[in-house]
Amino acid sequence: MIFNGSRDILNMVLSLGTNGVRAKFDELNPKVASDFAFAFGLFTKKESKEENPTIALSRDMRLTSPCLFEAAASGLTESGCDVLDLGILSSPASEWAAHHEKCDGLIIVTASHNPAEWNALKFVDKDGIAVSRERGESLGRFQNKPHSPILKWNQIGKLKSEPKIIEKYQTSILQNINKSKINPLKIVADSGNGTATLIAPKLLKDLGAEVILINEILDGTFPNRPSEPIEKNLEALIKKVKEEKADFGVAWDGDADRVSFIDDKGRWIVGDKCVALSVKWALLNEKNPKDKLVATTSATSKVVEDVAKEFGVKTIYSDVGAPYLAEKMFAQKEKMICGGEEVGGIVWPKFSLAKDGIFATCKFMEMVSQKRLSKWFDELPQYYNSKTKIQATKNQKERVLKSLQSKADSKKIIPLIGGFRLNLGDSWVLVRASGTEEYIRVFAESRTEEKANRLTNEYKNLVEQSMDQVKK
């Protein structure tokens, strides 16, 4: 199949979002996948300075993934890069494999938590850092255009495979888990028909757990529940945890980078608190915690910072999104002990810079073996969140945010790409332009629900007032 010949396709031009290029198949088609992969090949060659760098390539089980995978492989080899075919694999296992196999980069074909009709290409560099929108601005430059430079027939890249990568990944996790701290546990595991099912059940059993599986059949149509592991999608898991009197329940999204937990009382634990519990467990098991750092995104609850403060540890805030979090962690990798983002992405940087829902589950097994998950959960500080959004064009977003930021107290503000966070003691407000939709989003958090709602309404009104001024 020729991917860079003339073809009548939509005039839509895609660009990187928060983490990779993401769209439905009518926009992210084989031609576009090949275009982005070819550009990433050139990006990697420039970064690594290798004539024939090796780029790992993996995919999830979505119906469009094999097609986009083949197109990406074509673009990479056309650029002169060798391709390490990892096959169907979770995103965190792919990121671990790319680092373990000393690859110069990685493309993962997966739309992660999005519905079945979506797909994406995620890009990761040689240091294990996801490529952000800003760093990857050049990756879309070949859309609907010929690829250049054109290599000779004997200069194109080669395809190779690593058939035992799942076994290697599982072994590495077991080597980084304190098995002596784990008691026999009963766990209900919901793979959501995603790639976690290829890895997690065996791993949890190897750690001595009785594992009750639901939604374990690999199926890219997500027949049993939507991919995103949020509370409203996990009714079956919550019910099963209660019926089985399990120690906890766990659910992953389609590519297993996000994870959710259900405690022994059948309560869903919001993603921020999953990060906070992981941070607490990491610091409890660290001999000199004051020398360490914690990282999270600016949209994450203050509960993470509060937990870190109990140990005298500083929390570093990043822009919203996995690439920015990884950049912060990599910059001070020796001091970073744990972190993550509010959607249930937990990072243990000594193991990997990836959000790894499977590794995080194994660390939860250590923690729950010492004390019931409900007790850990109840010990965390309580916060309330409120969210809203205001429709705005690209031009309005830029002007409104610039105006609001200029009026804010510089001592309380954390400037972000496309917005800012304002710290207000035990509360905070995040005002941020959506990277994919025509909205300005306002998030607020406080110790009381009433104050969180009041802050959201206050800043929504400020955005709308500024919008009126922009229109004038």
Last residue within a domain, chosen from 137, 163, 189? 163
Residues contacting residue 187 through CB under 8 Å, at least 6 positions apart: 204, 209, 210, 211, 212, 246, 247, 248, 249, 250, 365
Q: Are residues 203 and 340 in the same domain?
A: yes
Please report whether residue 14 resides in a domain.
Answer: no
Residues 36 and 139 in one domain: yes
* Residues 199 and 348 reside in one and the same domain: yes
Domain that holds residue 58: 21-163
390 within a domain of the structure (yes/no): yes
The pLDDT value recorded for residue 471 is 65
Task: Name the pairing type of β-strands 314-318 and 293-297.
Answer: parallel
For residue 30, being part of any structural domain is answered with yes
- Is there a single domain that holds both residue 127 and residue 249? no
My answer on whether omega of the bond before 149 falls inside 30° of 0, hence cis, is yes
Q: Would you state the pLDDT for residue 452?
A: 96
pLDDT at 339: 98
- Structure confidence at residue 8 (pLDDT): 40
Q: Measure Cα distances from 41 to 36, 46, 78, 110 in Å.
A: 9, 9, 9, 18
- Same-domain status, 272 and 134: no
CATH of the domain at 151: 3.40.120.10
Length of the chain: 472
For the chain, how many structural domains are there in total? 3
- From the list 140, 132, 155, the residue with the least C-alpha distance to 82 is 155
**Spatial distance between the Cα atoms of 44 and 126, rounded to a whole number of angstroms:** 8
The answer to whether residues 312 and 423 belong to one domain is no
* Residues of the chain scoring pLDDT < 70: 1-12, 436, 470-472
Catalytic pick among 94, 112, 278, 446: 112
Distance CA 354, CA 41 (A): 21
Out of 113, 142, 163, a domain closes at 163
Confirm whether 112 is a catalytic residue: yes
Q: Determine phi and psi for 323, rounding to 5 degrees.
A: -60, -40
> Is 25 in the same domain as 69?
yes
Residue 186 lies in a domain: yes
Residue 429 lies in a domain: yes
Return the CATH number at 427.
3.30.310.50
Residue where one domain finishes, among candidates 131, 163, 195 = 163
The pLDDT of residue 436: 66
With respect to residue 105, please indicate whether it lies within any of the assigned structural domains: yes
H runs (alpha helix) in 285-438: 303-310, 322-331, 357-370, 373-378, 394-407
* 403 and 309 share one domain: no
Distance of CA 23 to the CA centre of its chain: 17
Give the pair of three-digit tokens for residue 20: 């990779």
Residue 149 has which token pair? Answer: 């430079």
286 alpha carbon, distance to own chain's centre: 25
Residues 372, 459: one domain? no
The pLDDT, as a whole number, for residue 13 is 83
Q: Are 91 and 354 in contact (CB under 8 A)?
A: yes
Task: Locate 52 and state its tokens.
Answer: 């024939």
Indicate if 177 and 257 belong to the same structural domain.
yes
33-55 per-position pLDDT tens digit: 999 999 999 999 999 878 899 99
* DSSP string over 237-292: HHHHHHHHT-SEEEEE-TTSSSEEEE-TTSPEEPHHHHHHHHHHHHHHT-SSGGG-
Rounding to the nearest 10 degrees, give the CA dihedral for residues 404, 435, 94, 357. 60
The continuous run of DSSP H or E covering 468 comes out as helix 449-471
Task: Name the residue with tokens 């920015």.
Answer: 324
Per the structure block, which two tokens stand in for 411?
Answer: 């001592």
Q: What is the pLDDT of residue 472?
A: 54
In the chain, the largest separation of any two C-alpha atoms, in whole Å, equals 67
Can you read off the two tokens belonging to residue 100?
Answer: 């373990």
Reported pTM: 0.93
pLDDT at 10: 42
The answer as to whether 94 is a domain residue is: yes
Residues 308 and 443 in one domain: no
287 and 388 in a single domain? The answer is no
Q: Please give the Cα distance from 339 to 345 (Å, whole number).
A: 9
Query: Has residue 2 been placed in a domain?
Result: no
